Amino acid sequence: MSEPTVVRVEGEQPYDVVIGHRLLDRLPALLGGGVRRVLVVHPRALRATGDAVREDLAASGYEAVTAEVPDGEEAKVAQVASFCWQVLGQAGFTRSDAVVGVGGGAVTDLAGFVAATWLRGVKVVHVPTTLLGMVDAAVGGKTGINTTEGKNLVGAFHPPAGVLADLSALETLPQFDLRAGMAEVVKCGFIADPGILSLVEQQPDEAVRWDSPVLAELVERSVSVKAAVVGEDLTETGLREVLNYGHTFGHAIELVERFTWRHGAAVSVGMVYAAELGRLAGHLPEKVVDRHRSILAGLGLPIAYRGDRWSALYDGMRKDKKTRGDLLRFVVLDGSGRPTRLEGPDPALLQAAYVEVSDS
């Protein structure tokens, strides 16, 4: 395997995202000096991985403990965060100690939130084990948990001390989860780097093979897109909103489906919805909308949603974090690599876009 690639995320608290294979020996360097105790947060499905990380840390001289949490979005609730705080308290964690999140986006969101809130903020390093986690959730400093009212409504901005994107972890990732993660990769292509789209179109099979150079390049390009955005706008006061392309409708699907849909699958439909909304609002030519459908469907991702849920979806979108008062805000495109905002669109326009993505 080639040498790892390092993408630097700038800002007030700069950090490195290390991308490559077999990277766990680099974890102590990202934790830095002064750390004595480390909490390894991992999902139930990755118990062996979590134990291996704990053992490696113990062999390096750390007092390492684990907190096993539920799989998927079930981990992102207040009760699980409270459990992690309890572990930290019982183990005597101080402000100079650290949390390591090992798992997919749900775990890194949770671990980051726990680190952000323990003693008003301790160090966190993410070890994402899914493609979604590597290109999106673990990078950028957004942390959060869900409530019954919506996704990520409780959270904090808390940049990690570093991210280890170990591509070897993708070897055992179920194929659909890998493909679902590609939705965030494609998103980066449409908002900032059309070269991503060309790579996926030209080599679709290599794009979803865990050990291919094409996938490695796609991860590097996607992380670079996100790093450039969050380095300028950590707290989403302006530019960072473009990273939410497809997410307003996608998050509404997740809420309506009680988080049983994969995030990437929901965002895939959400991007097609945003493309149709942009077309209907006069921003986007039809050929770019068609390109959305072609690329996403070619990756085996859904591009339509059931046609009898408009009321619930509209209510879900009104609860989105980007909403200001009663003003709904969407990221749409003026063309590939040219995101813009659409504020307060007519509800009839929103419903018309929904009809375009309905499968019935």
Q: What are the residue numbers of the active site?
A: 120, 142, 184, 226, 236, 240, 244, 247, 251, 263
40 labeled binding residue: no
Ligand-binding site membership of 193 (annotated)? no
Tell whether 321 is in a known binding site.
no
Query: Is residue 20 annotated as involved in ligand binding?
Result: no
42 labeled part of a ligand binding site: no
Give CA–CA dist 152/98, Å, rounded.
Answer: 23
Q: Is 75 among the annotated ligand-binding positions?
A: yes
- For residue 144, say whether it is annotated as part of any ligand binding site: no
Provide the Cα torsion 51, 167, 266, 200; round to 10°.
-170
Tell me the two tokens of residue 162: 């570093």
- Half-sphere exposure (Cβ direction) of 115: Cα atoms closer than 13 Å: 30
Q: Tell me which residue has tokens 């986006």.
A: 105
Residue 76 assigned as binding residue: yes
Q: Where are the alpha helices (DSSP H) in the chain?
A: 27-31, 47-59, 78-90, 105-117, 131-132, 175-191, 194-202, 204-207, 213-232, 247-256, 263-280, 286-298, 310-318, 347-356
Q: Is 184 annotated as a binding residue?
A: yes
Q: Tell me if 72 is assigned to a ligand binding site.
A: yes
Measure the CA–CA gap between 40 and 74, rounded to whole angstroms: 18
SS3 307: coil
The answer to whether the annotation marks 71 as part of a ligand binding site is yes
For helices 263-280 and 286-298, angle between their N-to-C axes, nearest 10 degrees: 170
Query: d(Cα 278, Cα 285) in Å, to the nearest integer?
Result: 9
129 is in an annotated binding site: yes
Cα–Cα distance, 333 to 321 (Å, whole number): 20
> Rounded to whole angstroms, how far apart are CA atoms 290 and 101?
38
Tally Cβ neighbours within 10 Å of residue 92. 10
Annotated binding site: 71-76, 105-109, 129-130, 142, 151, 184, 247, 263
Annotated binding site for NAD(+): 71-76, 105-109, 129-130, 142, 151
Annotated binding site for Zn(2+): 184, 247, 263
